Structure 1
Amino acid sequence: MKRNQILIVVAAIVLVGVLFFLPKVVVNEEDKSNLAKSESPAATPEGHSEDDGHDHGAEAGAATEAHMTASPEQLLALTTARAKYNKASDEQTRNRVAPELAEAYANAAKYDSAGYYYEIAANARGGEKSYKRAGDAYYEAFTFAATQERASELGAKARSMYEQVLKNNPTDLDAKTNVAMTYIATTNPMQGITLLREVIASDPNNEKALFNLGILSMQSNQYDKAAERFQKLVSVNPAHVEGTFYLAVSLAETGQKEDAKALFTKVKGMSSDPALTASVDEYLARLN
């Protein structure tokens, strides 16, 4: 989970006393006809996709300010790669250039477009690694979806790519964990939880699965179970900032205020992020 996601969740706890924010949010603005018009860094929010000839879906929301913008260098590289792709005179050449364009989109944090072109390359070449790159890009876009509809759309795209990966390599637990999380945004979230439990059964120390199960327990107000998951996580990785933070939250919500205070103080020493520090201080103020 990204740092901005932590802060949004903290705000949710402070304001309404519940955790509800999954996945994290970002804006995708599509109504731009020319990449050159958006070469100012401030004009291109993370997760945004230009009009590149396919339908990503328009998204808007207040989360724009929370995300970084693409640099002029990244936009220049993207412009160059797009021109190269557009000038390709045949499908074989476009398929060969597609990974380069996808990488340029990914470097500029335009993940839905990156997934689109990685998918083109994967369908042309095949191979576990190619489909994994496409799945990872779509999954990243999924985590920034601004609406339930968009999350469902991108989650389905990610699953379709990961299914190709798991078909060849059923032991890829990272892909399986990501598939699980896309199901959380559907009408069948239990399927995702079941998959996460399968990951834990295969690898009891899997940090990603432990973290996500902890978050899901918090969302359903099962803070005792969440504390168990995060306690296991920080025992596996004592330097896990997010795990330590959420363990503190879980302990606070189960009435273990002194232990929670100690962990919140520890979090402040683990990260120099001023926004995170401010959020921890706000939570500490509630406990005092």
Structure 2
Amino acid sequence: MSKGKLALIFSAVVLAVLLALLPKVVINKDKKADLASNGAAAESSHDPNHEGHEDHAAEAAAPADAANAHMTATPAQLKEIADLRAKFNRASSPQDKGKVADELAQKYAAIAKHDSAGYFYEQVAAVRPGEKSFQKAADQYFEAFTFAATQERSQQLGQKAQGLYAQVLKNNPANLDAKTNLAMTYIASETPMQGITLLREVISADPKNEKALFNLGVLSMQSNQYDKAVTRFQELLAVNPKHVDATFYLGVSLAETKQKQEAQKAFMRVKELSKEPEVLASVDSYLQKLNSAQ
């Protein structure tokens, strides 16, 4: 289970307490996600209110400034980025800028600065538009979206991801991965039914789609429809029996539907599948509650 992003979508208090103990997760890359965001069409230019980073169109920052913005990066990584940004600013042709932008995007992604990576992949897409280039940018903005610490920032990043995923689907309407991520940006917006509709379209096209099944299960939990959540997670586990997150949330859903013994089995299965301390602590906490229940 990834430690990348925390599910923020649940409203039930019992889940909120439990999920606080869990590592964060993401729904792309065959893991999962619950998101907090808003949605609309993305702009093609970089967000001028970009938090935590310098304006990417400006000259490369001095190492000290870059260090403040990228605390997780090594000095060598910061220097590479500063040098590439200077090279990007000096590039005279769109093709040259696109080539350097691709390098910059990779460097930013390597230090988990996904919004910055998204911006530079967006510059690549402007030079070489197409399904794959748009999706690279969209996926990075989506990653940043799942990390967003505030509703305002989440909304900004969600908008960027939505606009770019729209371009992906314009090039290839059958891209289910893009459609699933797009759906999740709408789920947490003021138009959640738009996201639900997209997820149902994915399931209709691919009944065994793991990401869509997982997200529909999560959404059922959010609306306290735990019986439906049980069904979705069971469908997912029939496809992928080793899906740790689905197994865990199946246990939660079974417990909420008073199926104590089945819930215990699910949690014990999680302990077989994962050795991460945060996960095991959460499972033990839930098992303790189940064992102490009358």
The correspondence for 2:257, drawn from 224, 244, 254, is 254
Instruction: Say if 2:127 is the partner of 1:124.
Output: yes
Deviation at 1:18, TM superposition (A): 8.9
Shift of the 7–123 alpha-carbon distance from structure 1 to 2, 3 Å rule, reads closer
Partner amino acid, structure 1, of 2:109: A
Percent identity for Structure 1 against Structure 2: 56
**8 A Cα contact 2:233 2:249, kept in partner:** yes
Q: C-alpha deviations, 1:8-59, integer Å up to 9, x for none?
A: 87x963665899x94279xx5347994622676x9746xxxxxxxxxxxxxx
Shift in CA distance, 5/232, structure 1 to aligned 2, threshold 3 Å: same
Q: Aligned partners of 1:260 and 1:34: how far apart in 2?
A: 53
CA RMSD in angstroms comes to: 3.0
Amino acid at match of 1:101: L
Number of aligned positions between the proteins: 262
Where relative contact order (Cα < 8 A, 6+ residues apart) is larger, the structure is 2
Among candidates 267, 277, 281, match of residue 270 of structure 2: 267
**1:242 aligned counterpart, secondary structure:** helix
Q: Deviations over 1:156-203 (max 9, x none)?
A: 111111111111211100000011001012110010011001100000
1:14-29 correspondence to structure 2 within 5 Å: 22-23=34-35, 29=52
The residue identity in structure 2 corresponding to 1:79 is: A
In structure 2, runs of 5+ residues without a counterpart are 21-32, 38-50
1:238 to 236, 241, 254: 241
What is the identity, as a one-letter code, of the residue corresponding to 1:190? M
Structure 1 residues 234 and 163 mapped into 2: Cα distance closer, same or farther (>3 Å)?
Answer: same
Distance 1:115 1:6, change over 3 A: closer
| Shift of residue 140, structure 1, vs aligned partner | 0.8
SS in 2 for 1:126: coil
Instruction: Output the CA distance in 2 between the equivalents of 1:193 and 1:178.
Output: 11
Deviation at 1:123, TM superposition (A): 1.3
1:186 alignment partner, SS class: coil
Q: How does 1:44-123 map to 2 (within 5 A)?
A: 44=70, 69-123=72-126
Listed as ranges, the gaps of 5+ residues in structure 1 are 46-68
From the superposition, tell whether residues 74 and 255 of structure 1 become closer, same or farther in structure 2 (CA, over 3 Å): farther
How many angstroms does 1:275 deviate by? 1.2
Q: Distance in 1 between matches of 2:124 and 2:54?
A: 26
TM-score (normalizing by structure 1): 0.81
Offset of 1:125 from its aligned partner?
Answer: 1.4
User: Structure 1 residues 17, 140: CA separation in 2 closer, same or farther (over 3 Å shift)?
Assistant: closer
In the TM superposition, 1:218-233 aligns within 5 A as: 218-233=221-236
Aligned to 1:52: none
Q: Give the TM-score taking structure 2 as reference length.
A: 0.79
Q: Choose between structure 1 and 2: higher helix proportion.
A: 1
Contact 1:176-1:195 at 8 Å conserved across structures: yes
Aligned-partner Cα distance in 1 for 2:144–2:220: 24
Change (3 A) 1:227 1:14: closer
Answer yes or no: is 1:276 the counterpart of 2:279: yes
Give the Å deviation of 1:5.
4.4
Residue 152 (structure 2) pairs with residue 176 (structure 1): no
2-structure distance, mates of 1:274, 1:7: 18
